[in-house]
């Protein structure tokens, strides 16, 4: 008689991104960032990167995309190397990103820009570091608005970023 078939116990997994549109949006962003930083060696692009939280030593935050100065160092989370950070604001995690992650990202000493994009409508916030601890925020709300990131050498219209997401179709 064959042994009884046992199903494995459920294994917890990391939650998926809030929407398929958010996944496509992040993929589009990654492709364009990768092409842009190719002209800026030794910058590298990290996906789902772990960042040291300056406010809570020993704690890590995850970011959707990070443009970092230099190559990855095995076994070490990013911190001082993060130049540009991108997060997709899903319906589930938008408040946490704004209240917890954004202040931590802005506290990273080398971070020049933090980009927050929504996956439900055409909406992009670009937080740019000015002198010292001062920041300015640009809002891009139209598909023809241009997203410019000095820290990554990127310049493109939001229509390109939101291509094939189904968001903002006219």
Average pLDDT in the chain: 86
| pLDDT, tens only, 98-124 | 999 999 999 998 999 999 999 999 999
Q: Report CA dihedral (151, 157, 162, 163) to the nearest 10 degrees.
A: -120
What is the Cα–Cα distance from 170 to 166, expressed in whole angstroms? 10
Q: What is the pLDDT, as a whole number, of residue 75? A: 65
Predicted local confidence at residue 77, as pLDDT: 65
CA distance 143 to 35: 21
Cα–Cα separations (whole angstroms), residue 148 to 78, 84, 104, 112: 23, 12, 22, 12
Q: What is the pLDDT of residues 31-54, one digit of tens each?
A: 999 999 998 878 999 999 888 888
Q: Which pLDDT belongs to residue 167?
A: 93
Token pair recorded at residue 117? 């994009």
CATH 3.40.50.720 fits 20-161, yes or no: no
Q: Are 67 and 45 in contact (CB under 8 A)?
A: yes
Q: What is d(CA 98, CA 20) in angstroms, rounded to the nearest whole number? A: 21
- The full set of domain ranges for the chain reads 20-161
Distance of alpha carbon 168 from alpha carbon 98, whole angstroms: 23
Handedness of CA 68, 69, 70, 76 (dihedral sign): negative
CA quadruple 46, 69, 50, 127: dihedral sign: negative
Strands 44-52 and 113-118: unpaired
């Amino acid at each position: 008689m064959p042994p009884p078939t046992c199903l494995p116990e459920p294994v917890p997994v990391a939650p998926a991104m809030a929407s398929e549109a958010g996944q496509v949006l992040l993929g589009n962003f990654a492709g364009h960032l990768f092409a842009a930083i190719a002209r800026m060696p030794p910058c590298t692009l990290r996906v789902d990167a772990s960042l040291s939280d300056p406010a809570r030593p020993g704690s890590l935050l995850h970011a959707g995309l990070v443009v970092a100065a230099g190559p990855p160092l095995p076994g070490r989370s990013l911190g001082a190397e993060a130049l540009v950070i991108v997060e997709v604001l899903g319906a589930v995690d938008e408040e946490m990103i704004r209240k917890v992650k954004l202040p931590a990202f802005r506290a990273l000493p080398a971070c020049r820009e933090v980009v927050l994009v929504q996956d439900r409508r055409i909406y992009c916030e670009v937080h740019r570091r000015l002198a010292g601890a001062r920041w300015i925020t640009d809002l891009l709300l139209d598909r023809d608005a241009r997203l410019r990131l000095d820290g990554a050498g990127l310049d493109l219209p939001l229509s390109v970023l939101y291509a094939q997401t189904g968001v903002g179709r006219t």
